[in-house]
A and B are shown apart, each in its own frame.
Chain A
């Protein structure tokens, strides 16, 4: 009996300690999201979210899936969703490869690793918008890339116009998320024992064989987890598309579409559709997170925990 009451007291104490945090999340994140979820299945065109900023209540909502049908069937919206997924896949894949190359180099060069690490970490410390404006200038018609290709080397006949293209948004997201991928992958390689490589090469394997047959297979599950992680981060980011995408007629991604629609809320009252969009984005993200946790727990037993950068 005594043990039971001690256990109960521990539970009560613990919940008292986490109560402010839970309240914060409930009020600011979970309740608003629940209201968004409700609104997304409401057929009413009324402005505002149920219980929060509108008059609707659970009993007055006539449930419908028409908002989702509108969101998913409209060609423009479908293009936005497919493009968002495409950008995220491209960014995550490029960064997985770059992460493997740079991460391996850093893990095996302990002398210059600190300096490299400091440079690579810089984009995660500096505000994202400054990184993106750096990229905007970097790829602009008078920036260094065009200066080199157009004016110095004269390889091209006119400056490359990258701003407003798919590639521009990809480049921006690469700059934002390179840190995560490289640092997480470097810590994967650090966990691989160098003795394995030495053994492999002393048995006559070439560097290439050792890398592809011994080292890479050991880190691949981790690389998969990092791929998912970068994919999610790219999914929800909209700074790159906002600045480099060339406006609302340009390269719009899902979160930016939501942002644009919120901005024009006063003009066209499509609150319910915005909510459906928001739910679609949140569901994709949370599914990705679920997958990530699954991969990390099952294949990697929690040794991969560098995500809080």
Chain B
């Protein structure tokens, strides 16, 4: 154990009583996280633009939601058209990768396991620029913008599927699978009957994470989208850009409710007490 530097005594005269630093910082962070969404919510149901104390709605009006409900629903639909295929693709492509990385010792395993992390750290704007060159100006143009966005989301969110699967697979005893094999099950049969049932919770977690990543994506979608595709983040951006702050706030709140709601439901499905 390395000994740390001694505390400079000068600090002690400036700071509040030491034990208070931790709860006070926590309180500050909680307020910083909680207040902005509350103001957005207030803004979306407020009659007037000036909020009471800058936080609470002044007068109640659901005009934004009733008047623009169709537009909000359309962007939810567009987001789903992209997120659902992305989740399925991530599962189909990601599960074999996780299985191979956990079960097999093979040449190039180190490279593959680092490649799994690459989409998470690669700058989204550079990825989007490359995709734009492929799909808008390049050889894959016939596939269209929907495919481009779905595949783009699949690439950036696939680590969120693979990583939970890896840690789930690592906890499964290999001998159970081997026992199934020795009793005559084929490799696929053994996988389906012994391995798969045990990793369902992690599959759902992975699906929730990929869904969240896809629903939230703005930086990649913005470069690939066309006027007819308006996912929720894009709709929010356009609403605020055109100056309709309250509409933007309404779409943002609907998005939050939808995105966070789906994730919470999925995680409750997994019946994990500590879903967070």
Whether A213 contacts B4 by the Cβ 8 Å rule is yes
Q: B26, B163, B212, B274: which contacts A125 (Cβ < 8 A)?
A: B212
Q: Which residue of B lies closest to A48 (CB)?
A: B137
Whether B125 contacts A98 by the Cβ 8 Å rule is no
Q: A217 an interface residue at 8 Å Cβ cutoff?
A: yes
Q: Which residue of B lies closest to A122 (CB)?
A: B33
Q: Of A63-71, A73-81, A282-290, which stretch is located at the interface?
A: A282-290
Q: A7, A101, A122: which contacts B25 (Cβ < 8 A)?
A: A101
Given A17-B100, A21-B97, A213-B3, answer yes or no on A285-B123 (Cβ-Cβ < 8 Å): yes
* Complex interface bits, A120-143 against B, C-beta within 8 A gives 1, otherwise 0: 111101111111011111100011
Distance (Å) between the CB of B138 and the closest chain A CB? Answer: 4
Main secondary structure on B side of the interface with A: helix
* Complex interface bits, B28-70 against A, C-beta within 8 A gives 1, otherwise 0: 0110111111011001000001110111000000000000000
Whether A133 contacts B129 by the Cβ 8 Å rule is no
Whether B96 contacts A18 by the Cβ 8 Å rule is yes
Q: A25, A117, A207, A286: which contacts B276 (Cβ < 8 A)?
A: A117
Whether B35 contacts A138 by the Cβ 8 Å rule is yes
A101 CA to B263 CA, complexed, in Å: 28
Q: B130 an interface residue at 8 Å Cβ cutoff?
A: yes
Whether B55 contacts A282 by the Cβ 8 Å rule is no
Q: A28, A146, A211: which contacts B155 (Cβ < 8 A)?
A: A28
Distance (Å) between the CB of B242 and the closest chain A CB? Answer: 14
Whether B255 contacts A130 by the Cβ 8 Å rule is yes
Q: A11, A15, A255: which contacts B125 (Cβ < 8 A)?
A: A255
Given A144-B54, A212-B6, answer yes or no on A130-B37 (Cβ-Cβ < 8 Å): yes
Q: A35 an interface residue at 8 Å Cβ cutoff?
A: yes
Whether A101 contacts B127 by the Cβ 8 Å rule is no
| Tally of contacts, chain A with chain B, CB under 8 A | 297
Whether B233 contacts A178 by the Cβ 8 Å rule is no
Task: Please name all residues of chain B whose beta carbon is closer than 8 Å to the beta carbon of A27 when the two chains form the complex.
Answer: 134
Whether A36 contacts B129 by the Cβ 8 Å rule is yes
Whether B54 contacts A142 by the Cβ 8 Å rule is yes
Whether B37 contacts A126 by the Cβ 8 Å rule is yes
Task: Please name all residues of chain A whose beta carbon is closer than 8 Å to the beta carbon of B109 when the two chains form the complex.
Answer: 14
Whether A127 contacts B215 by the Cβ 8 Å rule is yes
Whether B133 contacts A48 by the Cβ 8 Å rule is yes
Whether B54 contacts A147 by the Cβ 8 Å rule is yes
Whether B133 contacts A32 by the Cβ 8 Å rule is yes
Q: B123, B125, B133: which contacts A35 (Cβ < 8 A)?
A: B133
Which residues between 90 and 137 of chain B lie within 8 Å of chain A, taking CB atoms? 92-94, 96-97, 99-101, 103-109, 112, 114-127, 129-134, 137
A259 CA to B123 CA, complexed, in Å: 12
Q: Which residue of A lies closest to B50 (CB)?
A: A142
A208 CA to B16 CA, complexed, in Å: 12
Q: A274 an interface residue at 8 Å Cβ cutoff?
A: yes
Whether B237 contacts A262 by the Cβ 8 Å rule is no
A21 CA to B159 CA, complexed, in Å: 11
Task: Please name all residues of chain B whose beta carbon is closer than 8 Å to the beta carbon of A136 when the two chains form the complex.
Answer: 240
Q: B271 an interface residue at 8 Å Cβ cutoff?
A: no
Distance (Å) between the CB of B198 and the closest chain A CB? Answer: 18
Whether B259 contacts A105 by the Cβ 8 Å rule is no
Additional A-B contacts beyond A126-B216, A208-B12 (14; CB < 8 A): A22-B115, A25-B118, A52-B139, A98-B29, A106-B26, A122-B37, A127-B216, A127-B233, A134-B252, A148-B54, A208-B18, A239-B219, A274-B129, A308-B209
* 15 A–B contacts, CB within 8 A, in A order: A11-B106, A14-B109, A24-B154, A33-B126, A105-B22, A126-B37, A128-B218, A133-B248, A148-B53, A218-B1, A236-B124, A258-B125, A281-B125, A288-B121, A309-B209
- Nearest 3 pairs between A and B by C-beta? A32-B130, A134-B36, A147-B54
